[in-house]
Structure formats: C-alpha cells, structure tokens
Structure 1
C-alpha cells in the first residue's frame, strides 16, 4: 500500500475525511450506547434475585373482599402482611417435590402496628446460609447474628428509632436485646426489614406452627428451567404468587419491547449511515479521478 498517497488524500480532502470519520463514529457510539442500556436494564432486573442467591420467590397473597375494611384496633399488634400469608405444609411439600429445584429456604415476614408506629420483622431460616434473607449475615456492620431472645436491627431504622448495640427492643410484649446492626445491600430490597431474628422466634411471636413460613426462596438446578418450574408452581399451588426476574420483564414488557425495537432500528440506521458514507467517499474519489485522467 502506498501510505504516502493515503496521507496526501487525507490532507487534501480534510473536510470530506472529517465528515466521514465523525459520521461513522457517531453511528458506532449510538450502537454501543443503546446495547449498553439494554444490558444494564437486564442486569438491574436480575439484581434483586442475585443478591439473595435465588431464582424465584413464592408468596401467598391474602384474599380480601373489596369492602372488608379493617379497624385500627384490629390492625394493632403483630400480624402477617396482606401479600404474605402463610404457606401450608402441603405448599412446602409441593415445592420440595419439584425435581428442577436445587434448594430452597423460607422466611417469616411480620408487620407490627404499635403505639410508636409501624415496623417490619423478618424471621430468618439459617439452614441455607447462601440463600434468601439469611444472607443478611453478610451485611452486618457491627455485632453478630442473633440467637434466642436477641435481634439484629437495620442501621437506618436504628438511627431513626435511636437504638444502639446492647439496647432492648420490645416486640409483641417480649423483650429482645440488640446484638447487631446491618446495612441492606443495594438491590436486596426483597429481603429488607427493620429487624431480623431467627425464624423460630418469629413463629413464637405470631403463634404459628413449627414449620410455618410465608416466603419461600428457590434456587434452580438449571436457570433455563425457570419457565417450566413457574408453570408447575402456578398449577400445583393454587393462589400463590411466583416472582422471578422475568416477572419484572413481563411487567415492563412494553418498555423492554420498545427498547429492543429501537436498538434494532438504530443499529440498522447506524450501519446504513456507515455504508452510505463509504459509498459516497468512493464515488467522490471516482469522479475526481475521472476528471484527472480526462474522461
């Protein structure tokens, strides 16, 4: 290749070269930016599940009549959240029977409406240390995971409630000693609560059986089986709510579809623009050479 000739061409046709380079650069930048946004969207959707080491979450919402308003007196004390009623032993047995499920952990989420306000309490199952809210042990900033008669407090709530290490907190007429403070990791809001304690303590507070739970965190042997497992759960467990990363994708399906279509169209436009600039440059050079040789 005659590099000297190439340099001369670039020097003599600086305006044309600059326009071509900028056009191609803008097309490439647009393509990369749109694909980066699409990838970031996919990552953000799956983050709440990755943070807990789970592929899906199973809950049973409460069936309530539209006119069944509850009085303040009924709401007082400790109760189950409306969206998290107890999963029966039969429900948990059905979950365990699905072969595609590698492991599962349970938790018991409670609400307390007291004189000082509203707070959430999470009873944690420590039998699966890498799955579900028990991963909160990795977020402890001070102290340790609680035992019997002890509690772990989220640090922002502790600051709001003026609570510190060694203090006692009364829940449902029982006193618990604060033995740890934790900070919820970004993207782990699915397991967020004001306070954490062993699931056996939470069961005692609400007065349920030894195996009671209202949230199940499932990890699959193969994530590609997500659709089939969700279908099995919905079929065998009537009335349950099954949440996974693709649930958010379905919920935001319109945005996802528009994003994908725009990405495809923008890629075509960028590619077409680059081809147009290359062809335009070739034709301009051809016309110029034609004049030089006198055709």
Structure 2
C-alpha cells in the first residue's frame, strides 16, 4: 500500500517533484565539481613539487652557501692566442647553489629516527667556451722605412684578426645510480634508451633531458664531452611537468671527479617512514646534524605562486563556501516546497486521517516522497557533476606555477627541495594542465547529500502533515 500510494502521488505531482529534485541536483553537482577541481589542483601542485625534488622525496637536507663578500672570483678561461685559426675549447665545472656536504652526512641522516632512506646528489653548472682566434695580417705602409730586423718593418700596420667564441651553459646532476627510486631523476620518465644500472657507479654514461637532447641533436649512442671527458648517452628522459631537474644526469662519482668535489654532495634527498611524521623527522635532523637546512615539500609549496596558486585558493575558499551556500539554499527550498505541497494537500490528508490513517503513517508517506525526490536529485546531481568534471578535464585549462627563490624553498642558495638539482634562474615558470578527477569518496558524498536533502525536505513536510486534523479537510469541502 505504501509503495503503491507513493508511486501514484509522485506520478501525479511530477512537476513539483522535478522542481525539488532539480534544486537538489544543482547543489550536489556544484559540490562534485568544486571537490573534483580542488583534487585536480592538489594533483597539479604535487606534480609541480615532484618536478623539483623527485617522486618519493619528503624533504631535502642542504647546507646554504655563505653570503658572498665579493672576494669570490668568476671563472677564468685562458687560451693560447698563437694557435692561429685552430679551434680552442675550455670547460669550467662548478658546484651550483650550495656549500657541499661530506658523503658521511648521508649515513648520519639515514640513521635518524623516522628516516626510511637517504641518498645524495651533486648539482653542477658547466660553462663551456668554444671558438678560435684569427690572427691579423701585417700590411706595410707606403713610406717604406726599414727596421732594425728585430720586429715588423717601420711604417706598417696589422689589419683584421680577432676572436669568435661561443659560450654554452648547461646543468649537470650527479645522481646515485644505486638508489634509482629516490632523487630528482624520478620526476622524469625514460622515453628512449635505458636508465642507469647499479654497476655504473663510475661509468662514463649520461642520461639527457629530452628538451636539451632535442636542442643539441642528441640521441641514444651519441657522445657528450664534459671537461675533456666523453660520456655516452644511454637514455633520454622526459620530465613529467615539462621542466627537468637538469640538462644532463651522470653517475655521482663522475660528477665529483669533474668538479674536484671528491666525497662531496650538495643535496641529500630524504624519504620518511611515515608521511604523517615529516615535521618531527625534520626537527630530529636539524637537532642532531648541525649546519644543515632541512626543507619539506610543505615548505616549498608555500613558494609556489602564479595562476595555479590563485586558482587553488579560489577553489578551496570561495568555491567551497559557494557550494555550501548553494547546497543549504537547495535544502531550504526543497523543504519549503515540500511543506507548501503538504499545505495544498490538506483535504487529501485530512480525508485519509478520517478513514483511519494515523499521523505517523501520513508522516511516513510524506517523508517517503521527499526521500525519492532527494535520491532523484542526487542521481541528477551526480550526472551533472560528472559531466562538469569531464568538461574541465577535456578542456584541461593550462595553469602556471611560478617557483620563486624566496621563502622556505630557498631555491637559489637558501636550501630547499628545489635547490638540489641545478637551477640557473631564481624563478621558474611551469605550465600545468588542470584536470578534475572524481573519486568514489566524492560520489559517496553526493549520495549522502541527496539523502540528507530528502530527509530535510521530508522533515518539513512531515511536521506539517502531522499537525493536520480531519476537521481541516471538512473545511475545504465545497
């Protein structure tokens, strides 16, 4: 009887049921879209951070370089200008960004409570000058005055000559090939060739970033010369975010040899045993290993600005509050419409009570109708929400994330996750495509909201119906 009457009433009042369901659907759809976009923002930010310190890294340990007093000399290049047109080349390999730490610090960090793994890396910058001198040609003047035989004849002059040199600057990162699961190279995927093997700790092999390889026409099997040492390209890596940690990756020992930094590293990448205890692990390292700077991914996230940061703030603040406001309004409208519908059914409910229906049965009937409206609204809301999330993912609007050198990240020398790999600029802008993934949790939330909306609407209507008396129906009889 309950379901028969319920079906008949819903069919008879289809327009009213559709209005209530539509109001709930809009609120639920907005909640789904906002939650999905917020989740996409979080994934985009994680992707940006992983491009700086690599997948699986929870924090880095560095030693900030002291403030320069002006005494540090710039790299000097010396050439023999008497070699005529012979091509000349010179490389300078310098440690980038940080003061070096001893290799033994890696073991100390790894022994701290809460540390699952620790691996070192060496960030280098290579300045390569390549070109040739062209000697000038002596031309004797018309005066013809002779000399004494110990120099050019009097009255002549040297014309032409000069120098033509190219300056190339690129970044090289020395990575521990025995720990492939940790460090900046994990933010890239090998798209050609292979990665390092654990036996290549001192091999003359190199992995090139895909953008740099394209610029220099490098491929697997090509050779790269760094400071007179030839390295074979064994793989091409493509950064997930489009911005690589370095142009070239070589085994750590080779990087230490090239830069005269034996048993030295610039950055120690740390993985915690429990992601919920990162702050305590950071404190433990700072307390037990003096002179180091520990930076977590949360510290670096504070330095991310640009449209990604702005959109994330809007999604987490304005978007969520807007969705809550719309949802509350939808609940109230559904409740008021249900209560109003009950008021228009006074004669019907009064007659049912006169025929023996108790107030509880009438209330259950109204609540049942409201629950069906709520579930219908939930189904429509989920469909609209999924459609909205699909549109956002299909369009994939591009957001920019600017990674600055200030704040906790310390990208230019203050220590931080972004400072380990060689970064030449004080800030880098990355383009990240926004997606809106819908999780099962979000769908479950939508169902819960639909049920809640139905209960609220049913509570309004049920309360109104429970107050009706058979005499109210007789007053409406014409």
TM (norm. structure 2) is 0.53
Residue 123 of structure 1 and its aligned partner are, at CA, apart by 1.0
Residue 20 of structure 1 and its aligned partner are, at CA, apart by 1.6
Question: How big is the alpha-carbon RMSD for the aligned residues of Structure 1 and Structure 2?
Answer: 3.4
1:202 corresponding residue in structure 2: 255
Change (3 A) 1:252 1:260: farther
What is the number of residues matched between the two proteins?
A: 290
Structure 1 residue 141 and structure 2 residue 192: aligned? yes
Change (3 A) 1:68 1:269: farther
Residue 167 of structure 1 and its aligned partner are, at CA, apart by 2.6
Q: The residue matched to 1:153 in structure 2 has which SS? A: strand
Q: The residue matched to 2:181 in structure 1 has which SS? A: coil
2:19 corresponding residue in structure 1: 19
1:78 corresponding residue in structure 2: 93
Residue 41 of structure 1 and its aligned partner are, at CA, apart by 3.0
Change (3 A) 1:17 1:91: same
> Which whole-Å deviations, capped at 9, do the CAs of 1:141-186 have from their partners, x for residues lacking one?
22553842222222221111112333322212322222332223x1
2:449 corresponding residue in structure 1: none
Query: CA separation in 1, counterparts of 2:69 and 2:31?
Result: 49
Change (3 A) 1:143 1:257: closer
TM (norm. structure 1) is 0.81
The worse-fitting range, judged by mean Cα deviation, of 115-124 and 138-147 is 138-147
Structure 1 residue 109 and structure 2 residue 161: aligned? no
Change (3 A) 1:85 1:200: same
Structure 1 residue 60 and structure 2 residue 112: aligned? no
Residue 199 of structure 1 and its aligned partner are, at CA, apart by 0.6
Query: CA separation in 2, counterparts of 1:283 and 1:59?
Result: 66
Residue 131 of structure 1 and its aligned partner are, at CA, apart by 1.8
Change (3 A) 1:45 1:17: same
Whichever of the two has the greater Rg, that structure is: 2
- Long gaps (5+) in structure 1: none
Q: How does 1:269-284 map to 2 (within 5 A)?
A: 269-284=325-340
2:294 corresponding residue in structure 1: 242
Residue 200 of structure 1 and its aligned partner are, at CA, apart by 0.6
